[in-house]
Structure 1
């Protein structure tokens, strides 16, 4: 059985995460998003790794502002969405949804995940089972709809929920405690949610990240993946409503929570 690429989660800024993936055999290393350079460079030095590529998910400053320093220091090539090239740092490689590229002998699939922004992409490595979703699907939540529509984000949630349930969801922020409180306000009797809220609290008590998370856990507890379920529709008093209207109501409630 092939070994998955090594995955390292790096806390940055006040509540962001960057991720490194590393192939032991070839030494190839890629970085997903660059909130700031310092913590990432420290991990690279500690591991003795050379950074080859930087993959960007979307244009928000807290995901790209460390790119110039990282490129100057490491010489890594920068990859991002063609549709967002005008508002990303200079790109060496452009990709579009539906495409894939090779990294260390593993395909990396580009998934269109609009909603938080309209040019947002996720990067999915099916052999290793990692999905870098940044601010689309998040641990216990989803990103605010700064540019996209509820219909776009609901389509994104469905697209990501169709990945294998064992997929490791690598999202962009430590928002899980607040997201869990909101989820519990909608489904207080959900057994999986009760257990997960306790596990999140225990992890944060020890200063441990709650990211990444398993898609199977998101499917069982994340209200933004559950808007099509009768129990969630009943919880918001919208039993006869469309899935996207229920999703929009949940997103509005979270904004005001």
Structure 2
């Protein structure tokens, strides 16, 4: 099923995303980091916002919700585990629930690690996954709540998605992620090409979001934690568990 997508910058490095079902005209914003860019994107496209789908409770993802809801009347869906930390919520969801944007249907995954209430929206028919701050282009979220193994288990859920799945993440950290990825996986030619692409995009005022799962499997060191190259990159023996490599990588990235 086709979906129309609009991506744009919010704040300094947040990514705003609008997803529209062309058949019904229903349209969702994935998070609202700030109201102005979302409202401008709606004006530019002529789309009518019907839904706001929240990935997690952090302020840089929810600051504009109340203003946008007042302006549009959109229904706000948020993680149940966020409690009352998110304003103006109409519906809460958790693992196993589904949400609809017109005829577009998303499965709700609980993907903790960055924070305990984080959820991901997987639009299977449209091959779109809205990963928030769990999975980034060439990177993954910082672990703020719980042990890093929890984030690894969340990332493992992406492993079975088709290569062509478009990954919409919550921030444009591509260049800094690429610098770390090259330090951890220096012989990866696909990664070198991807970083060069990111540098060109930045010069042109663009960003590499969405990425695809296929691209991330080839270039994202955190998703490549099961390879001998990444075990070597963090000075662990070949055959070390993916989880152990990931935990070591994440700790290194925190200090990088």
TM-score normalised by structure 2 residue count: 0.96
Q: Equivalent residue of 1:169, what SS?
A: strand
Could you report, residue by residue, the CA deviation over 1:16-72 in whole angstroms, capped at 9, with x for unpaired residues? 011101122211111100000101101111211111000000000000000011111
Q: Equivalent residue of 2:168, what SS?
A: strand
2:59 maps to what in 1?
61
Shift of 1:242: 2.6
Over 3 Å off, 4+ runs = none
Alignment check: 8 A CA contact 2:113 2:147 kept: yes
RMSD of aligned alpha carbons = 1.1
1:244 and 1:213 mapped to 2: Cα distance?
A: 23
- Unpaired runs of at least 5, structure 2: none
Shift of 1:112: 1.4
Alignment check: 8 A CA contact 2:52 2:75 kept: yes
Q: Equivalent residue of 1:86, what SS?
A: coil
Q: Equivalent residue of 2:129, what SS?
A: strand
Q: What is the total number of aligned residue pairs between the two structures?
A: 255
Shift of 1:227: 1.1
1:162 and 1:182 mapped to 2: Cα distance?
A: 25
Alignment check: 8 A CA contact 1:130 1:170 kept: yes
Q: 1:112 aligns with which of 98, 110, 113?
A: 110
2:246 maps to what in 1?
247
Shift of 1:241: 3.3
Alignment check: 8 A CA contact 2:65 2:88 kept: no
1:49 maps to what in 2?
47
Could you report, residue by residue, the CA deviation over 1:129-182 in whole angstroms, capped at 9, with x for unpaired residues? 110001001110011001132111111111012211111000011100010010
1:228 maps to what in 2?
226
Alignment check: 8 A CA contact 1:78 1:91 kept: yes
Q: Equivalent residue of 1:18, what SS?
A: strand
2:123 maps to what in 1?
125
1:111 and 1:181 mapped to 2: Cα distance?
A: 30
